[in-house]
Each structure stands twice: as C-alpha cells, then as structure tokens.
Structure 1
Amino acid sequence: MKGQFRGVFTIPPAVYHQDLSVDYEGIRRCVRFCLDCGAHGIVIPVYATEYFVLDDEERKKIVEVTVREVNGKAPVLAGVTSAYVGRAVDLAQHAQAVGADGIIAAPPHLMKVTEPELYDYYRRINDAVSIPIMIQHLFPPLGTVMSARFIMRLIRELDNIGYLKEESPRTNAMISAILEIDSETPSGLQGIMGGNGARNIIEEYQRGICGTMPPSQFTDVIVDVWNLLEKGDASGAFELHSKVLPALLFGGTYPIISYKHMLKKRGILDFAGCRPAGWPEMDELSFAMLDRIMESVKPFLRVI
C-alpha cells in the first residue's frame, strides 16, 4: 500500500452466534458497514475485536474474511498482538500472505516484559514481514507503558516499523513528545494514530496525528468529524464531535458490550454478546441510557 495510512481506520467487533462461536458472515456485514460509512481503513482483530479471547485460527480467518470483503477498497491492518512472540510472528506472516496491507502489534499481554525482551519482540516481527508495522502503545493492564525514546528507537532501527497508535495514559503528551523527537532527529516515523474511542480526536489532530482508530459503531460520524478537520473546519468538527461525545463516553464506560448493542440498534448485528472477559455489566438503567444516547445521535448518522 503506497502513501501514508491516514484517516479513520475503524475497528469492527468480533461477532458471535448465540453459542459464542464466531459469526464470520456477521463480521463481513460489519466490515461492509464500515466501508459504507466511508472508513479510510479497517483494523482487525485488536482490543475492540476481543482478540485475547479468540484462538489463532479464528484470528486468521477473521483477517482472511476482512481482506476478501474489503477487496482493495481501503487498507487492512491485521492485529497480531500475542503473549508469545512466536505466535505474533506466525500471525504476522499469515496476514501478509493473505493480503493485509500492514500489521499492528501491542507489547505482549499478560506478562510485563523487560525493554530488551520488548525490543526482541518487535525485532522478530519486523524481520518476519515486509509490510508496514504499527506499534500499539496501549494502556495497562493489557498494554505496557513505553518511553518516547524507546518507541523512537524501535522506529529508527527496525525498517518496517513506521507507525504508532498512541493510547497510553499520557496520550496527548506522548504524541507531542514523539513528534518533537522526530523533528529533531528524523527517524522514519510515518505517522501517529489516536485511539481511545476517538473521544479526544480534536486535540489529537491539533497535535499532529495522521488518523484515528475507533470502534466501529459510529464510524460515519467520526469520518465526518475527520473530514471536517482535514478541510480546515475545526469549528464544524468540534460542534459535530460535541454532539456525539456523550455516546463516545458511554462506550468508554461500557467497552465492547455497548459497542455491540449500538451496532445492534443500528441494524448491523443480530446478537450483541461477548465472550466472558470481565466486561462491565449493563443493567436496566444502562440500557435506558443507551436508548437515550442512540436517539440523541440519530440525526448525525449517515448510514441507516
């Protein structure tokens, strides 16, 4: 894929049948929805796709299904994060073989590795493929906080690593720090993408991100916000973003499960269940608030 990865690279969810087996047709439907919304790229399977409760064969098939459904209409980045680097390498090589345009990898989850171990993790992924690699700097407990200098060392020394998805506890400061280091000593950095559900997209854009990676339930609205920013209409972007911010904040309170219920209310999903992973439970009051939120954002949804 030539050129910079730029814009809204949205994340479809893992979709299940009632017995919690993977519903690949449901995933295709979500991917089509994202494309209809104008997504500039697709990212799967990552945190918002419940990658940590999927086995490797399910993860591989999800990437295959997505690449086929997208069919070159937008870049596809495949998530390869694993507790063991050998599995990450295998997933990365598979993603490249089936046509993914890039891969994204957070540090190994479960165990917190040392800096030398982390360097080796990214080095081995880097050496296994020839497509672009994005580091995901993810908040704990799934993620490991890294220093800006260490991240830039990875980008400077490992040829295929050129992107960062920044969503650590100090996201805004880290974006500025990374870009400042790169301006002082060019490193091969190709871009930084924001995360955190696009809740802070306006300030992140002002700090210099090249895109954002939100979950998919409001892809059309986030694309519209991004396009306004790209046109230089910061006021219009701020006004539109403020209209949907309560919905984005609700998603942060009830991650994953609320994303799916929002997609169900939009007619994209038939079943909104998640595999057990300790998600916050939604009760009667939560669902009442969800109904109110969906009604409030309805005027701003393009894809009905």
Structure 2
Amino acid sequence: MGNFDIKDFKGVIPAVLTVFDKNENIDEVGMRQLISYLIEKGVDGLYLTGSTGEGFIMDSEERKRVVEIVIDEASGRVPIVVHVGAIGTKISIDLAKHAEAVGADGISSVPPFYWKFNENQIVKYYEDIANSCNLPMIVYNVPLAGLLGMNVIKRLASIDNVKGIKYTGMSHYEITQIKDEIGKDFLVYSGCDEMAMSGLLAGADGIIGSFYNIMPELFINIYNAISEKDIEKAQRLQRQAVEIILYSLKVPSFYAGMKAVLRWRGINAGYCRRPFENLTEEEEKEFKEGYKRIKETYKITGVEFLDEL
C-alpha cells in the first residue's frame, strides 16, 4: 500500500508524460528527472501511464517499469495514482495488483473500449478491477473511450473501492450534479486543461491534466486563485493557459510538442513512440518561434518556459 489516503489526492496533478529515448525505449534517467522537476515545482500528486503517458502503446511490463521508477523517485513525497486501463479486464487486474505491490496510492482506468460494451459490462469491468486489490479506484470519464452517463457513474460509485472520478467532459454542471447526487466525499477531478477554472468552480477536488507537465506553475496559480476566491485573477490566468494550449495543439502530436518544450529547458523528457510523430529540427524551430509570438501577443508573464525563450 502507498503512503497516502486517496483523500490526499487533491490539487494540481499532472498526467505524467512517459520518457522514451530516440529508439523508443523507456529512459529511466529522463523519467526520474521529469518526476523530480514536477515535484519540486509544487504539484500535489502524479497520475501515471494514462493517455498522456502513452500507456496504451506500452506493453504491461513497460507500464509496470514506469510505475516502479516513478514511485522510487517520488519517495513518498506526493500521492500517486496509476492508470491501469486496458481493453481486457485480466490485463488491468494484473496492472492493479502490481501498482498495489509497489506502493501506489490508488488506481484509475478508462472504460473498456474499441468494442461497444454495454452498461452492465462496463460496471462489471470496474467492479472486477476494484475488487482485485485494496487500492481505491478512480473512474476515468473521457470522450476518447466513451463518456459515461450519470446512471452509470452512480452505479460505479456504489462499488466499495470506487472513490472518485476523473471527469474530462466539458459539461461541468455534471461535476456539481455528481457532488449533489453521490455525495461530497466522492472525489471529482476535472480533466480538461482548457477548463481547469470551470471545473474547480463547479466543485472539483483537483485538476488532472497534460499541460501541467510544461507549465505546472500556471495551473498551481489558477488553483490558488480559486482557493483565495480571486476569480478575476483565475480568469486571466486561464485565458493565458487556453492561448498556450490552443497553439500547442497545432503540431501533429502535442505530446511531442510538450517533450520538446521540456528539452529546451534542460529537462530530458525524451521523444514519443510511433505512431505519434516527433518534431523535425525545422518544425521545432518554428514551434519555438510561435511560442514567442504567443507570449508577446497576449503579454504573458510568469510562465517559466515562455519567460526563458
């Protein structure tokens, strides 16, 4: 078991990138450097081997190795939730048991995907994984795998070990609805980076996102502004985040773009695995120039990677 109660898994939580070298192998040194950087920046937790971590293009042993490296490097400094999602329940159970054995604080999973599983099959999938170990489960509601309706969420919340949901839908009134209808102790995490402020205002306990890898300080400032009820500041910072994100999404793989940004800063975040594309030298140069224009156009200050350009 881990070092933290799942109720400690709140605040600003990066969905962590996985560091691969140019030959697409896990880069342990780079992985450790990225984790230390994020923790030193003040993030409140880590979410591993999900979509941002390219979890679905790693085999089970690779996913386990990433978890082991991160837990060792984190050394109990922040709570860690491991995404164990797969199409097959057996694979997910194996990953969940491993996460428990090596000291994770919780597990999470997207619904089973590709085939159109019905509601009962989806509920049984979560029930089987949640009952396979003692770690709390965070359900993952995401459009890529198919959004779950309120009825399914309520059924999942009735499973003993299911303690919350990562909600990446944009209908944030449902965050309020979840809290009202399931209960305030059922944890909700807003997963849409462009709407972090909205998710927090709707009652989310924390925010989990991809772009926290490259600008954790911006989202920490948004979170703090909401906590201090400084809505005007939070709104200004969220607008800056949106402009940066919208520009970042223009490259073929924004994961590769984020890894390039971190490399500029001396943080070895490595490269993406195929079929994701990495930026060519010329594309990377153009990408950097575009960030400079964004910085100047929107008068953005206090975002460290932009300040350093």
How many corresponding residue pairs?
Answer: 294
Equivalent in 15, 22, 29 of residue 25 of structure 1: 29
Q: Is the 8 A contact 2:215 2:303 kept in 1?
A: no
Cα deviation code 1:219-252 (max 9, x no counterpart): 1221121122112222222222323321122334
Q: Any idea what SS the aligned residue of 1:125 has? A: helix
- State the shift of 1:115 in Å: 1.1
Closer, same or farther: CA 69–278 of 1 in aligned 2, 3 Å? closer
Q: Is the 8 A contact 2:19 2:269 kept in 1?
A: no
Q: Is the 8 A contact 2:218 2:302 kept in 1?
A: no
Q: Does 1:241 align with 2:238?
A: yes
Quick one: distance in 2 between partners of 1:252 and 1:58?
27
Closer, same or farther: CA 80–234 of 1 in aligned 2, 3 Å? same
Cα deviation code 1:71-102 (max 9, x no counterpart): 11110011101010100000001001100000
Q: Does 1:161 align with 2:162?
A: yes
Equivalent in 194, 201, 204 of residue 199 of structure 1: 194
Question: Normalising by the residue count of structure 1, what TM-score does the alignment of the two structures yield?
Answer: 0.89
Q: Any idea what SS the aligned residue of 1:204 has? A: helix
Aligned residue in 2 for 1:275: 273
Cα deviation code 1:133-161 (max 9, x no counterpart): 10010112xx12211121111112x1110
- State the shift of 1:66 in Å: 0.7
Q: Relative to structure 2, which stretch is displaced further, 3-12 or 100-109?
A: 3-12
Q: Is the 8 A contact 1:262 1:294 kept in 2?
A: no
Q: Is the 8 A contact 2:173 2:202 kept in 1?
A: no
Quick one: distance in 1 between partners of 2:276 and 2:240?
30
Cα deviation code 1:178-224 (max 9, x no counterpart): 22322xxx4x852110112x211111111100010112111122112
Q: Any idea what SS the aligned residue of 1:177 has? A: helix
- State the shift of 1:19 in Å: 0.9
Amino acid at match of 2:274: P
Quick one: distance in 1 between partners of 2:137 and 2:288?
38
Closer, same or farther: CA 301–279 of 1 in aligned 2, 3 Å? same
Q: Does 1:212 align with 2:216?
A: no
Q: Is the 8 A contact 2:18 2:54 kept in 1?
A: yes
Q: Is the 8 A contact 2:260 2:269 kept in 1?
A: no
Q: Relative to structure 2, which stretch is displaced further, 27-36 or 250-259?
A: 250-259
Q: Is the 8 A contact 1:9 1:211 kept in 2?
A: yes
Cα deviation code 1:94-121 (max 9, x no counterpart): 0011000001111123323111111111
Aligned residue in 2 for 1:126: 130
- State the shift of 1:57 in Å: 0.7
Unaligned segments of structure 1, at least 5 residues: none
Q: Is the 8 A contact 2:140 2:166 kept in 1?
A: yes
- State the shift of 1:294 in Å: 6.5
Question: Normalising by the residue count of structure 2, what TM-score does the alignment of the two structures yield?
Answer: 0.87
Aligned residue in 2 for 1:289: 290
Q: Relative to structure 2, which stretch is displaced further, 199-208 or 89-98?
A: 199-208
Closer, same or farther: CA 210–248 of 1 in aligned 2, 3 Å? same
Amino acid at match of 1:208: G
Q: Relative to structure 2, which stretch is displaced further, 47-56 or 111-120?
A: 111-120
Unaligned segments of structure 2, at least 5 residues: none
Over the residues paired in the alignment, what is the CA RMSD in angstroms?
2.4
Aligned residue in 1 for 2:16: 12
Q: Is the 8 A contact 1:176 1:207 kept in 2?
A: yes
Amino acid at match of 2:263: K
Q: Is the 8 A contact 1:51 1:59 kept in 2?
A: yes
- State the shift of 1:10 in Å: 0.9
Equivalent in 106, 109, 115 of residue 110 of structure 2: 106
- State the shift of 1:299 in Å: 3.3
Quick one: distance in 2 between partners of 1:108 and 1:294?
40
Amino acid at match of 2:197: I
Aligned residue in 2 for 1:173: 173
Q: Relative to structure 2, which stretch is displaced further, 229-238 or 122-131?
A: 229-238
Quick one: distance in 2 between partners of 1:233 and 1:167?
24
Q: Does 1:299 align with 2:302?
A: yes
Quick one: distance in 1 between partners of 2:101 and 2:30?
24
Q: Is the 8 A contact 2:110 2:140 kept in 1?
A: yes
Quick one: distance in 2 between partners of 1:96 and 1:274?
27
Cα deviation code 1:251-301 (max 9, x no counterpart): 344431222122122221263x21123569784754532454467656332
